[in-house]
A and B are shown apart, each in its own frame.
Chain A
Amino acid sequence: MTTAIEVRGLRKAYGDVEAVRGIDLSVQTGECVAVLGPNGAGKTTMVEILEGFRLRDAGEVAVLGVDPAHGGRRLRERIGIVLQECGVERFLTVAELVRLHAGYYPHPLDPDEVLELVGLGEKAGSKVRTLSGGQQRRVDLALGLIGDPELIFLDEPTTGFDPTARRAAWSIVESLRALGKTVLLTTHYMDEAQNLADRVVVVARGRVVAEGAPDEIGGRGDAEAHVRFLLPPGVAIADLPVPVEAEGEAVVTRTADPTALLHTLTGWALERGLQLPSLTVSRPTLEDVYLELTADVEETS
């Protein structure tokens, strides 16, 4: 497998403030990696260095085998960038804009197909200025995809989307992955990272503090499961076949083997004709892990 992005010892300071303090990162071709981190953690700086918008102070960076500081036009023909809050030619129609951008690339996708893909087929003839915020974000996505890039940077691509639009955007990203594209995604939504990413990288204080598959990062894979339910009427904690702790109105028990524990617990309840109201089994969510990893970071911007 080849490497799409390779970063070693990346550093960048603004005056006395070190925004990026030695980041290592590698992204394989065809992989979707989500970068998570609080505002001011250095993730935007890192991504903008990869995109060629900023120059680094130190470290080695290769994007599709090319140093983005010197990649120029040839590199830009191979990557797609979906920026946050980025203006656009508002007096052009959606179709005119996407066709204009298609002309910038040597082997663009079909503009009509891209508009269908992002769900703007019916808006092709509308001026961009008349679109809603969510629709304009889809224009961003269309412009990021039109050049048929090998590598796509998505900077918080679904911020401001309603739930339906987010699901639609996710399915677009999934279809990109099916085509073998590499995706580097930044997001504040844990469910987005959970759903889309093969790997999650958590950046805080200018460094990578954890990385791994969404289900395993921060020890999630090995963490004990929490089994929670409400006490059935007339049952005391001491009557239960397993040790539990009270947690508000519910009781909770922790176990490394939830299958066996549930078997014991539900067998006991069925024998007595009891219900276990609100029974759930959960592991720490990605959000729980993320909050723990970034707990001591103050929001700086």
Chain B
Amino acid sequence: MKAETSHRDLPLVGRQVVAEQKMFWRNPAAAGFTIIFPLFFLIIFSLLNGTGNIALPSGIVVRFTSYYIAGIIVFAAVSACFTNLAINLTMRRDDGTLKRKRSTPLPAWALFAGLLGSQLIVTVLMALFTTALSMVFFHVEPPQHLLEFLGVVLLSAATLCSLGVAITALIPNQDAAPAVVNIIAFPLLFLSGLFFPVGRGTLHDIAQWLPLTRMQHAIFDSFAPAVRHCPAVRGCTAPVLHSSGPMAADIAVILVWLAIGTLVSLRTFRWVKKGE
């Protein structure tokens, strides 16, 4: 179908974002899980390991909480953009809300732009809030490269949104949505080293191709935390800490996943439940 746009479209997307925001914050299930889980993980693990250090696969040692904050931000992005979005869209597909939208002149791209904008807002708020919390209570230093930090958070959120939309094609009905989404998300959270580093080996090699790993790397690098101990064989003058190369490589892998998520979404997204 040909794209039909008009001068009214920009305010239209703005109103969709506002409506999505209202729906998100008023829905205890959506807001609660997306906000509480990452905060819960942040506080528990930071309290347990607050003063400790952690050795990265590269041999460099940093404060545990400096490592952990990047993983928590990715976890928050997964909750808001992947888990919440996929479950929410499946419910709207099954109860006919999406069909009703199709009956109006609202273009599909405007509906999704509103959803994307809303989830980006939630993710950025969560990133800033968890960072502030960690700075106040867990000795985390502020991101040294603030623009890179915000850019990577936004890119990661957008990528996870595209994957969240793509995954709905695999979800048969809304009852199955939480199970399908979590079965995919939770192993990935651990495999990608969000909560503790994955040692060298096959898993580590696989993880280098996964989006969450790269998101964590890039966010970690934007923090560029102080090095607490350096292996003797390597120089540690610049705070680039990961073995996987510079941030550009991380961005490239994330962009590939964004492209995959977008293409799969465009080809497989269903507006109504199965059998209709």
Contact = CB atoms under 8 A, between A and B. Distances in A.
Interface of A: 51, 53, 70, 72-74, 76-77, 81, 83, 85-89, 91-92, 96, 100-101, 103-106, 127, 143, 147
Nearest to A85: B96
Given A72-B2, A101-B104, A87 B92 contact: yes
Contacts of A147: 104-105
Interface residues of B, number: 27
Contacts of A100: 15-16, 19
A103 B99 contact: no
B229 interface: no
A257 to B, nearest CB: 50
B27 interface: yes
Contact of A72 (B1, B15, B22, B103): B1
Main secondary structure of the interface of B (DSSP, over half): helix
Contact of A87 (B16, B27, B97): B97
Contacts of B99: 53, 83, 86
A83 B105 CA distance: 15
15 contacts: A51-B103, A70-B1, A72-B1, A72-B4, A73-B107, A76-B103, A81-B103, A87-B94, A87-B95, A100-B16, A100-B19, A104-B12, A104-B105, A105-B104, A147-B105
A88 B97 CA distance: 5
Interface string B192-221: 000000000000000000000000000000
Main secondary structure of the interface of A (DSSP, over half): loop
A74 B104 contact: no
Given A103-B15, A147-B105, A83 B96 contact: yes
- Of the listed residues B94, B99, B100, B107, the one surrounded by the most CB atoms of chain A closer than 10 A to its CB is B100
Interface in B10-46: 11-12, 15-16, 19, 22-23, 26-27
A182 B188 CA distance: 54
Contacts of A105: 104-105
Nearest to B4: A73
Given A86-B97, A96-B19, A105-B104, 13 more contacts: A53-B103, A72-B1, A73-B105, A73-B107, A74-B4, A85-B96, A86-B100, A89-B97, A91-B22, A91-B23, A91-B26, A103-B15, A104-B104
Nearest to A143: B100
A85 B276 CA distance: 13
A70 B105 CA distance: 13
A76 B100 contact: no
B29 to A, nearest CB: 10
B104 A87 contact: no
